[in-house]
Amino acid sequence: MNLRSTALLSLVVFMMSTAAIAHHGTANYNTDNQVTVKGTVTDFEFNNPHVLIYMQGKDDSGKIVKWEGELTSPNHLSRAGWKKDTIKPGDVISITGYPTKSGAPEIWIQKVFAADGTQIDTSGGN
């Protein structure tokens, strides 16, 4: 391998490693503030790399807002007892977590509550 090839390979490896670190960062979220949103689940994606919950809730003025909540991986949640049908479209739930700094209706979910107020474990045994 010549010097140019080695330099190019090093650059590619460096760029990939920073992307991996950035993917799991919290820079997008306001971790100094938590919000709770109650609403009806419209979709539940139990897929890698992160489980996603889509729901409709109302803002303070009563307007319908479509929310997206991000959880950890399906593998992690499976250790807490989650399955592909733990949450279903039509379920009424509450999610608590860190909102985006931009104000977009997205939450990095820390807690999930069923309609009766029972917390659904997200710890995964950790």
pLDDT (tens digit, 9 = 90+) per residue, 48-94? 999 999 999 998 899 999 999 999 999 999 999 999 999 999 999 99
Residue 60 has a pLDDT of 85
Residue 59 has a pLDDT of 85
2 pLDDT more than 60 = yes
Mean pLDDT across the chain, nearest whole number? 86
Q: What is the mean pLDDT of residues 34-38?
A: 95
Query: Among residues 113, 120, 70, which one has the least CA distance to residue 93?
Result: 113
19 pLDDT more than 50 = no
7 pLDDT more than 70 = no
Question: Can you tell me the distance from the alpha carbon of 107 to that of 103, in angstroms, rounded to the nearest whole number?
Answer: 10
Which residues have CB under 8 Å from 105's CB, separation 6+? Answer: 65, 66, 67, 68
Of 23 and 92, the one with more pLDDT: 92
Domains of the chain: 29-120 (2.40.50.140)
Chain centre distance of CA 15 = 24
Of 119 and 26, the one with more pLDDT: 119
- H runs (alpha helix) in the chain: 3-23, 74-78
6 pLDDT more than 90 = no
Percent of the chain with pLDDT over 70: 79
Total-model pTM: 0.78
Query: Among residues 85, 82, 91, which one has the least CA distance to residue 55?
Result: 91
